[in-house]
Amino acid sequence: MSETSGNKPENDLMRMLSDFRMPGLPGMPDVEALAAAQRRNLEALSAANRVALEGAQAVARRHMEILQSSMTEMTEAMKALSGQESPQAKAARQAEMLKSAYEKAVGNMKEVADLIQKSNQEALGLLNKRFTEAMDEVRTLMAKKG
């Protein structure tokens, strides 16, 4: 095998690489369009993460509000039960307070669950919208090359 510069494997590789132009290859999608699509994918993922984080922060804030409210109500209930009432009246008041606390806890759980569900739906909606757009973009790119 000759060692002239025209026949070296390195020169063959360099010649092949210089001839390699992605956008001009038949059947290959537009690289810039693919990069732009990937950027939009990352933007959609970032937006969905931001929505999920905001939702988690809203849930945490609401949990704290519920906890503070519960502590205040429990303190007031203890004061109310320390009065001079008959045992039957105290038992009736305790039952009423327990029922009220239970109903409030169920309502709070539902509210927090709704907050979580809303946040998840919004984030998933962003991702689904971008996925649909991405599939349309791929279809369009393939139609241009096909």
pLDDT of residue 122: 95
Task: Please check whether residue 49 lies inside any domain of the structure.
Answer: yes
Q: What's this model's pTM, rounded to 2 decimal places? A: 0.63
C-alpha to C-alpha distance for 107 and 101, rounded to whole angstroms: 10
Give residue 57's domain range: 34-145
pLDDT band at residue 25 using 50, 70 and 90 as cut-offs: low
Residue 64, Cβ neighbours under 10 Å: how many?
Answer: 10
pLDDT of residue 77: 84
Contact 28, 78 (CB under 8 A): no
Nearest residue to 128 (alpha-carbon basis) of 35, 31, 51, 34: 51
> Using one digit for the tens of pLDDT, what is the confidence trace for 44-63?
999 999 999 999 999 999 99
> Using one digit for the tens of pLDDT, what is the confidence trace for 31-49?
787 788 889 999 999 999 9
Q: Is the pLDDT of residue 3 over 50?
A: no
Number of domains in the chain: 1
Our CA dihedral for 74, 76, 79, 84, rounded to 10 degrees, sits at -110
> Using one digit for the tens of pLDDT, what is the confidence trace for 73-112?
988 888 877 877 888 888 888 899 889 999 999 999 999 9
Task: Please check whether residue 124 lies inside any domain of the structure.
Answer: yes
pLDDT of residue 112: 94
Long-range contacts from 105-111, C-beta under 8 angstroms, 24+ separation: 108/66, 111/62
pLDDT above 70 as % of the chain: 78
pLDDT of residue 59: 95
Task: Please check whether residue 24 lies inside any domain of the structure.
Answer: no
Mean pLDDT of the chain: 82
Contact 31, 109 (CB under 8 A): no
Would you state the structure tokens that stand for residue 141, as one six-digit string?
A: 């790119």
Task: Please check whether residue 102 lies inside any domain of the structure.
Answer: yes
Task: Please check whether residue 118 lies inside any domain of the structure.
Answer: yes
Q: pLDDT higher for 15 or 121? A: 121
Task: Please check whether residue 18 lies inside any domain of the structure.
Answer: no
CA 91 from chain centre, in angstroms, equals: 47
pLDDT of residue 26: 53
Task: Please check whether residue 94 lies inside any domain of the structure.
Answer: yes
Task: Please check whether residue 119 lies inside any domain of the structure.
Answer: yes
